[in-house]
Amino acid sequence: MKLDVQVKGKLVARLYRERDEYVLKYGATASAEDFVSLTMPVREEAWKWPRDLHPFFRQNLPEGYLLNVIREEFGPLLDGTDLSLLAIIGGMGIGRVTVTPEGVAPGTQLEPLQLEDLLTGENTADRFAALVHKYARAAISGAVPKFIAPELPMPNDVIATLGKSTLRTSRHIIKGSDANTPFLGFNEFYSMRVLERLNVANVAKARMSEDGRVLVVERFDVDENGIPVFGLEDTCGLLGLPPHEKYSPTTEKVLNAARSYLPASGARAQLEQFGWLLLTNYVVRNADCHAKNIALYYTSLADIAFTPVYDVVTTQAYPRYAASAPGLSVEGRKTWTVGKTLERFFNARLGIAPREYASMVERLCESAVEVGREVIEAAKNEPQWHGIAKQMVHAWNDGMESLRSPRPAAQFRGLTAAIEEAKFSDPEPPHTSRDVIGRSELLAKPRERR
């Protein structure tokens, strides 16, 4: 089996298996700007990877729930290799690179989805499962239920102007909840809002459905017409790691992998972007920030930058995952009790002095207090959100306390008063079964204690 590899619709290379190696071979007409990956620039010699697909091509392969759906829908077309999986879903995915069977143009003919129906309707588990099955043919990673669906077609005059109708894809990623992560849309929307409302870093734009079960995320790899123009590479792939090793690198290694590609002219702003993402995960207690959730995007080698922040969730809000430590270690430790660890990391690795670090912490904490009050108010208006809201604000209180100075100033605010005013009970205790947490595809398996 040979696959065509296109960059923004232009055929530039072929991908195939040769004995025990996977091979990417650029065509004679590929120019330097047609590179498929930062790690594989255009050259005459083929790029080979032993046993498995090159990490770049594995970064958007479906995981968990979506992978199981694809196996159900397309089982007869799969031969057990990632190459056959890519042949099915690679024509519609994230980023400017598409992969299709040899001779097949990118793009899929699927029924358009009415987003407003999704945002205003009742998104039961069965309804969302049916949508995932319907729109399963897309390259998108992640363990939670999600899909990409085409939108209503553009007017003919716009298509004629663009001349790229076959490349047009959805401008949104639709994420749902499951039994392990109820009201995930509500959780992620407000968790992301803690950073977004400060307007200090790029954050992916998203809308929550009225029932709080679905999150519709605007894609940042496409232009206003839904045409993929940005390349996107996560740090897991940049490190040459397969997706299942996304929790194995350290924060230092992830930063170094990305930093080597950042243009010097904008490095300072990019390091601050990284810092805001890192701190936000500690404030809202997101244990699922791993090497696949930190990525670069670009239109050329001159404008490489960290992507807008995405996939930030208060994992501590779910008792099944509440005992999990941060996904990536800092200074060799995975702990929420950071002490001076993060301050040293920011100073030495990001060039952010302790005073500026402390200011960033306080701005995020103040935002968490304000958004926490929004969460509590939302739960008053919609009783079914009471449980997740209670868990989230308790987690944020823990996050703020662990980041702040051990001698808090009198003016420091938390959410304790708002929690008491709302008459929220104590949070549900974490599940202690190591087998349950270890089997989860959402979070890394817990490490043995020493």
pLDDT digits (tens, 9 = 90+) for 8-62: 999 999 999 998 899 999 999 999 999 999 999 999 999 999 989 999 999 988 8
**Cα-only R_g, the chain:** 22
pLDDT digits (tens, 9 = 90+) for 83-132: 888 888 888 889 999 999 988 877 656 677 778 888 888 888 888 888 88
pLDDT digits (tens, 9 = 90+) for 313-364: 999 999 999 999 999 999 999 999 999 999 999 999 999 999 999 999 999 9
**Closest Cα partner for 236 from 444, 41, 30?**
444
pLDDT at 383: 93
Which string of b and e fits 133-163 if b means at least 16 CB within 10 Å? eebbbbbbbbbbbbbbbbeeeeeeeeeeeee
**Closest Cα partner for 214 from 140, 288, 137, 116?**
116
Average pLDDT over residues 65-74: 79
pLDDT at 435: 31
Domain boundaries, the chain: 2-176, 231-421
pLDDT at 151: 67
pLDDT at 81: 82
Span of 256-265, 298-307, 436-445 with lowest mean pLDDT: 436-445
* % of the chain with per-residue pLDDT over 90: 65
CATH of 231-421, one of 1.10.1130, 1.10.1070, 1.10.3120, 1.10.10: 1.10.1070
Average pLDDT over residues 64-81: 78
**Closest Cα partner for 401 from 321, 282, 314?**
282
pLDDT for residue 161 is more than 70: no
pLDDT at 64: 76
Average pLDDT over residues 368-395: 96
Residue 72 banded pLDDT, cuts 50, 70, 90 = confident
Angstrom CA distances, 195 to 190, 213, 282, stand at 9, 21, 12
Greater confidence, 406 or 154? Answer: 406
pLDDT for residue 162 is more than 60: no
Contacts of 348 (CB under 8 A, 6+ apart): none
Residue 445 banded pLDDT, cuts 50, 70, 90 = very low
Q: Are 246 and 292 in contact (CB under 8 A)?
A: yes
CA dihedral 139, 211, 190, 312 (to 10 degrees): -20
CA distance 132 to 66: 7
pLDDT for residue 444 is more than 50: no
Contacts of 285 (CB under 8 A, 6+ apart): 314, 315, 316, 317, 336, 395, 396, 398, 399
pLDDT for residue 408 is more than 60: no
